[in-house]
Amino acid sequence: MMVNVLVLDDDFFVGQIHARYVDEVPGFTALEPVRDLRTARDVIAENDVDLLLVDYVLPEGTGVDLVRETDIDAIVLSAVTDPQVVRSSLRAGAMTYIVKPFAAEVLQNFLRRYARYRRYWEREKVGQADLERQLRNLHDAAAVGGTGASPAGSSTTTRILAALEEASGPMTALEVAEAVGASRATAQRHLAKLAEARTITVSLQYGNTGRPEHLYATR
């Protein structure tokens, strides 16, 4: 049975990217992403939603408000790194908290483990040792800022990661800038931060002029 996922993010482009990440995982399907709490509530009322992916900061509240009022498994995807926000999100019922921006594999790895976690509850009874193993396996893939995550940043960084993942090969800063609709300087600044965090790789290509050009790619 497919796991129906609703993405709530006030940035349309970012919501679409996260929905695509979901659709790439076998057994998961993303509903049309929504940008506000009111629409999210309407979608939940009219559809079977198994999992929520919610941003923390929204114009009329927080994604955690929705987590509190629903009996639906949820993941918070946010650039907010305040420990108290993370803690309150988990206390409210979120299964994990993933810091934006992140590589597709961070979310997808958790979703694969979550699928196994869901199947565990189909049995008639649980055993303590097996239960502890299921919980441990689920959260090993979900540490805040875990493997593949990059420093908190803006939606521009998320767009850059998506562009690099979709590219057929390494890209120059100019190519990245054109792909995400940003200036070259802006793209270079975000690329430098991603490279420093080892989220992406950087190599040099020498042209006819002898001046090296940086090429960027996802790991």
- Cα-based distances in Å from 214 to 78, 158, 174, 176: 30, 20, 10, 12
- pLDDT at position 158, please? 83
- pLDDT at position 148, please? 42
Domains in the chain: ranges and CATH:
3-140 (3.40.50.2300), 155-218 (1.10.10.10)
- pLDDT at position 218, please? 86
- Indicate the residue type of 123: R
CB 183 within 8 A of CB 177: yes
- pLDDT at position 205, please? 80
Per-block mean pLDDT, blocks of 10 residues, the chain (219 long): 94 91 95 97 97 95 96 94 94 93 87 87 79 74 41 67 88 92 87 81 75 84
Residue 111's nearest CA partner among 60, 74, 81, 71 is 74
- pLDDT at position 69, please? 95
Token pair recorded at residue 135: 């919980």
- pLDDT at position 199, please? 80
**For the whole model, what pTM was predicted?**
0.66
